């Protein structure tokens, strides 16, 4: 039987990268999927290539009003949902001296505040026994220079996940967190880091698996956590990072 049959899922930031790959995996496993995104043409394109039982809604995760409208749409169209994958996120890379207040707010608004209120607004629409997955990053625990704001936003998300796993336990809603390492998506280019500026070989050398991850490899874990096969798993963080976070004391 298909693992996510009879489940309805909302994925934020589903038009690209990990969100898109997860939408494809959820659909292949029998779920009904609603993806969100901020750029109508990119979202339409994703819907067209995903095919199957997929729907979309334009909502900027950095705008609280948009998450309210998303919840209204979901209520009117589906009534209830079973899975919420809060995936939309942006990166920024600058040392502390160069971070502006506007840039700090932009990252926090999308990655943390927006994620928080997306959960708050969709929670009344979740079936008891449903589940939430928060897409964080290994940066939540690392001390990567130049990533102070991004890392803090993700650390906040992991804290939120832990709290919610206890707060929502009475409704049997499971909450889990996924921390990818470097995955081959356009996120860095969108943050203004050109692809040829990233030293892929150097990155790969630091990972026992010896390469960057693929979006589909993150999607498979998300699908597992979203399914009833993960019925005894809540409040947990999973690093999916090719072993990056396992540091040898002596190289």
Ligand X SMILES: NC(=O)c1ccc[n+]([C@@H]2O[C@H](COP(=O)([O-])OP(=O)(O)OC[C@H]3O[C@@H](n4cnc5c(N)ncnc54)[C@H](OP(=O)(O)O)[C@@H]3O)[C@@H](O)[C@H]2O)c1
Among 71, 88, 119, 177, binds ligand X (CB under 6 A): 88
Asked if 17 is part of the footprint of ligand X (rule: CB under 6 A), the reply reads yes
CB of 192 to ligand X, least distance (A): 13
- Pick between residue 103 and residue 169 the one whose CB is nearest to ligand X: 103
Among 107, 132, 244, smallest CA distance to 187 is for: 107
**Residue 20 among the catalytic residues:** no
Nearest to 110 by CA among 21, 37, 211: 37
137 contributes a contact to ligand X by CB under 6 A: yes
Exposure string of 49-72, with b = 16+ CB inside 10 Å and e = fewer, is: ebeeebebbbbbbbebebbeebbe
For ligand X, the binding residue among 10, 27, 57, 62 (CB under 6 A) is: 62
Least Å distance between CB 6 and ligand X?
A: 26
Looking at residue 183, the DSSP 8-state letter turns out to be: B
Query: Cβ closer to ligand X: 130 or 182?
Result: 182
Tokens of 247: 């540091």
246: phi then psi, degrees, rounded to nearest 5:
-95, 95
Task: Kindly tell me which of 129 and 186 has the beta carbon lying closer to ligand X.
Answer: 186
Burial of 28 (0-12, 13-18, 19+ CB in 10 A): middle
Q: How far is the CB of 8 from ligand X (least distance, A)?
A: 19
15 binds ligand X (CB under 6 A): yes
> Least distance to ligand X from the beta carbon of 77, Å?
18
Tell me if 18 contacts ligand X by CB under 6 A: yes
CA pseudo-torsion sign 12, 29, 158, 240: negative
Active-site entry in 20, 73, 150, 238? 150
Name the minimum Å distance from CB 34 to ligand X: 13
Q: Would you give the binding string for ligand X spanning residues 21-50, x where CB under 6 A is met? A: ---------------xxxx--x--------
Footprint on residues 170-189 left by ligand X (CB under 6 A): 180, 182-183, 185-187
| Alpha-carbon gap, residue 236 to 136, rounded angstroms | 12
- DSSP letters along 37-71, please? ES-HHHHHHHHHHH-SSEEEEE--TT-HHHHHHHH
Q: How far apart are CA 180 and CA 141, in angstroms?
A: 11
* 167, containing H or E segment: helix 148-167
Q: Which stretch binds ligand X (CB under 6 A): 54-62, 96-104, 124-132, 169-177?
A: 54-62
Site for ligand X in 144-163 (CB under 6 A): none
Of 97, 83, 102, 76, whose CA–CA distance to 35 is shortest? 83
Judged by the rule CB under 6 A, the positions of this chain that interact with ligand X are 12-13, 15-19, 36-39, 42, 60-62, 87-90, 110, 135, 137, 180, 182-183, 185-187, 190
Would you name the residues annotated as active-site residues?
Answer: 150
């Amino acid at each position: 039987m298909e693992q996510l049959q009879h489940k309805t899922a909302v994925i934020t930031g589903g038009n690209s990268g990990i969100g898109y790959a997860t939408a494809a995996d959820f659909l292949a496993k029998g779920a009904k999927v609603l993806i969100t995104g901020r750029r109508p043409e990119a979202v339409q394109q994703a819907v067209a290539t995903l095919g199957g039982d997929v729907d979309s809604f334009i909502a900027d995760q950095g705008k609280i009003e948009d998450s309210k409208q998303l919840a209204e749409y979901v209520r009117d169209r589906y009534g209830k949902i079973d899975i919420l994958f809060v995936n939309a996120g942006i990166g920024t890379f600058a040392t502390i001296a160069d971070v502006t207040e506007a840039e700090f707010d932009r990252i926090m608004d999308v990655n943390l505040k927006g994620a928080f209120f997306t959960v708050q607004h969709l929670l009344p629409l979740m079936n008891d026994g449903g589940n939430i997955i928060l897409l964080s990053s290994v940066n939540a625990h690392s001390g990567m220079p130049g990533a102070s704001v991004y890392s803090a936003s993700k650390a906040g998300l992991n804290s939120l996940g832990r709290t919610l796993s206890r707060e929502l336990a009475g409704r049997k809603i499971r909450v889990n967190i996924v921390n990818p390492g470097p995955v081959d998506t356009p996120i860095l280019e969108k943050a203004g880091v050109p692809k040829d500026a990233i030293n892929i070989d150097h990155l790969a050398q630091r990972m026992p698996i010896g390469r960057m991850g693929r979006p589909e490899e993150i999607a498979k874990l998300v699908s597992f956590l979203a399914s009833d096969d993960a019925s005894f798993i809540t409040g947990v963080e999973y690093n999916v990072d090719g072993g990056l976070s396992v540091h040898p004391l002596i190289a």
